[in-house]
Structure 1
Amino acid sequence: MNPILHKKFILVLVSLLCFATNGYSQKIGLKTNALYWATTTPNIGAEMAIGRKWTVDLSGGYNPWELGNNKKIKHWVAQSELRYWLCDVFEGHFFGVHAQGGEFNIGGVNLPNFIFGSDSENYRRQGYFVGAGISYGYQWILSPRWSMEANIGFGYNYMEYDKFEPCDCGDHLGSKSSNYFGPTKVGLSFIYLIK
């Protein structure tokens, strides 16, 4: 990833975290996205209330695994989101604005055509992405400490990557940048409220 772009992205995430901790912080939730685990990607997130109807959500995931036969979906991703709740925080409907970024090394996996095209399983792509979008979600209270959340987001991602033959030592076939519009997040998360 471009070092300057990487530093700017980290600065934005840290700024949002500082804003959240300086605000109204009556509730904090720790969470993990079960759908992300289904892709063998460990992930964790934290969400903090910054007002009666506002929260800031910070999350990340990291997938270092080789799947065998030159198949891999290695990546890391970090995401921040500002959420507005229609009722109270951590309950019911919410709308959000999110920013995200990360790096990837994906090969031999058949992905939807709108990501890399119809030949995604025939090549390996290694690069980075940054983007933003809007989201909608709903959170159900399961007990005084536990909740479940479903959300979906749509937006834009800018990607730069190198294309290679499928294996790690494969020939470099060129570099490309692309603009992606479509789903940028989807989640079914379990939340534990710690405050």
Structure 2
Amino acid sequence: MNRLLTLLFALGLLAGPTFGQTADNPSDPAPAEYTFRFVAGDDMFYIPWSGNGEELDRLLACIAQNKAAITEGSVPVLVDGYCTSQPSEAENLALAKTRSNRVKTEMILRGGLTEACFRTQNHADKGNFVTVRLVIPATPSEAELEAQRRAAEQAEAERLEAAKRAEEERLAAERAAEEAHRAANQTETVPPVLEEARAEEPEKTECCAMGLSLRANLLRWATLTPDLGLEWRICPSWGIAVNGSWTSWTWSDKDRRYALWEVAPEVRYYMGEKKAWYLGAMFKAGQFNYKLSETGKQGDLMGGGITAGYQLRLNKALDLDFNLGLGYLNADYEKYEVIDGVRVRRGNETKDWWGPINAGVTLVWKLF
């Protein structure tokens, strides 16, 4: 058996130059298909036998030239194994698979490829060999490359021209809309000198402009207690306000009485972009005389607390101020009864109150 294999090996070396190589000139670029011969019934890949060495060198050179495309997957490596020396089809396919793996091992070790680069098929016909094919796309000619370059340049020029036209149309539309808006809002002709002066003036938000305002708490007026006040906006964020209330009512032949006066100064800090919300600190002092039942109460009150509110703008001259105050009040008073038109004292009392001390829905009129 060894003598037979040696004889076949020697015959293969002699027949290799005419039987193992393809018809391509070795000086020509590497072909896309390569064939590797195997001894019948054997799975060993004898590289020096039957021209396999020269074929492998040409394959490795082609792999090196196209390795980037192969590893990226754009150039697949097709491996087909063939075997007809075994008694059954299954045995032929198994031996063809082993031979394909032997050839792929050389490409992995010497060419730096991976198993993912191959597409392998095995066959039980045709003979005892393995073919390797590289599907290399044709290289475009210089004329084709020039045509592609010109087409790309033309497409880019058309894109830039379309973008330029779109930008010009957008700017024209913005100018037209701005002119229409200006024409709709223009109610009087402003001399150029005044227009320049206005442009130089700093912008001022009308809702938080400085000035003096007259105030009237509508809730107090609803209880027949006249209430008026003033607020001075020192700056857009700070204001000083003072409100005063006074009333004096009697009925049932002066047996019933409702009278008071109050003064409530307040410091406010306005917040937000429109300066509509505010927090403040209030001081309150006054006197009262209530007799709504058999016993009347007459005395002094004093206290203060924290206020908060929101000013709703109605127009350029009017605002509506919603406010609430929480804090402490102290009332020191005498109790009395009226007998035959004469007040009869019934003792003193002092009370402390923690909670709401002020509430208002106030109409604000901006004087200047």
TM bin, normalised by shorter chain, reads 0.7 to 0.9
Q: State the SS of the aligned residue for 2:225.
A: coil
Q: Does 1:97 find its partner at 2:270?
A: no
Q: Does 1:123 find its partner at 2:307?
A: no
Q: Which of 158, 171, 181 is matched with 2:330 structurally?
A: 158
Q: More deviation in 40-49 or 67-76?
A: 67-76
Q: Which of 83, 99, 105 is matched with 2:268 structurally?
A: 83
- The change in CA–CA distance for 1:179 and 1:29 in structure 2 (over 3 A counts) is same
Deviation, 1:64, is 1.4
**Corresponding residue number in structure 2 for 1:6:** none
**Corresponding residue number in structure 1 for 2:362:** 189
**Corresponding residue number in structure 1 for 2:210:** 26
* Structure number, greater radius of gyration: 2
- The AA in structure 1 aligned to 2:303 is G
Q: Which of 294, 299, 311 is matched with 1:139 structurally?
A: 311
Q: Which of 231, 254, 268 is matched with 1:47 structurally?
A: 231
- The change in CA–CA distance for 1:166 and 1:155 in structure 2 (over 3 A counts) is farther
1:59-70 matched pairs, under 5 angstroms: 59-68=243-252, 70=255
- The change in CA–CA distance for 1:161 and 1:88 in structure 2 (over 3 A counts) is farther
TM-score calculated relative to the size of structure 1: 0.75
Q: Does 1:149 find its partner at 2:338?
A: no
Distance (Å, rounded) in 2 between the aligned partners of 1:39 and 1:56: 26
- The AA in structure 2 aligned to 1:31 is R
Question: Which has the larger helix fraction?
Answer: 2
Give the aligned CA root-mean-square deviation in angstroms: 1.9
Deviation, 1:88, is 6.3
Q: Does 1:176 find its partner at 2:349?
A: yes
Deviation, 1:52, is 2.3
- The AA in structure 1 aligned to 2:356 is P
TM-score calculated relative to the size of structure 2: 0.41
Q: State the SS of the aligned residue for 2:342.
A: coil
- The AA in structure 1 aligned to 2:363 is F
Matched-pair identity in %: 27
Question: Which has the larger strand fraction?
Answer: 1
Unaligned runs of 5+ residues in structure 1 are 1-24, 109-120
Q: State the SS of the aligned residue for 2:219.
A: helix
Q: State the SS of the aligned residue for 1:165.
A: strand
Distance (Å, rounded) in 2 between the aligned partners of 1:41 and 1:106: 13
Q: More deviation in 48-57 or 123-132?
A: 48-57
**Corresponding residue number in structure 1 for 2:256:** 71
Q: Is the 8 A contact 1:53 1:87 kept in 2?
A: no
Q: State the SS of the aligned residue for 1:37.
A: helix
Does 1 or 2 have the higher relative contact order (CA < 8 Å, sep 6+)? 1
Distance (Å, rounded) in 2 between the aligned partners of 1:183 and 1:156: 8
Distance (Å, rounded) in 2 between the aligned partners of 1:34 and 1:166: 33
Unaligned runs of 5+ residues in structure 2 are 1-208
